[in-house]
Amino acid sequence: MKKIALPVKENKLSPHFASSLLFQIFLVKDQAIDKEYLIHVPSQLSESLAVWLAKKGITDVITRGIGHNEINLFNQHKINVFVGVKLENPKDLVQEYIDGTLETHDNFLN
């Protein structure tokens, strides 16, 4: 099973990963979305987002832009990062991920 997190704002993928306070989580089982829900990032997060999401069992992150250091942190916690994704409806993006048609591009922040 995959557990995919996307930073969201106004029902779309958020353009700003690091400042996102809301993530939409999708559980993918047998190549289909099994469940979805929202989680709020605590206002006083005492650890990195990578650590926090890893503790929640996240296996993959889909985002628009993210820094190299953040990607390395996610990778250290065995979380795959898909970068440069269009600002669309999160459920549609996850379906593209499942279908193998999710378009990614280099969109790294320094």
Domain ranges for the chain: 2-109
Residue 36: phi and psi, rounded to 5, are -145, 150
pLDDT of residue 110: 42
pLDDT for the residue numbered 68: 86
Read off the pTM. Answer: 0.92
Half-sphere exposure of 27 (CA within 13 A, CB side): 9
Q: How do strand 2-9 and strand 22-29 relate by DSSP bridges?
A: antiparallel
Q: In this structure, which CATH number among 3.30.420.130, 3.30.2310.20, 3.20.20.100, 3.30.1330.10 belongs to the domain 2-109?
A: 3.30.420.130
Residues found in the chain? 110
Segment holding 49, helix H or strand E? helix 49-55
| pLDDT per residue as tens, the chain (110 positions) | 999 999 999 999 998 887 889 999 999 999 999 999 999 998 888 788 999 999 999 999 999 988 888 999 999 999 999 999 999 999 999 999 999 999 998 755 54
pLDDT at 59: 98
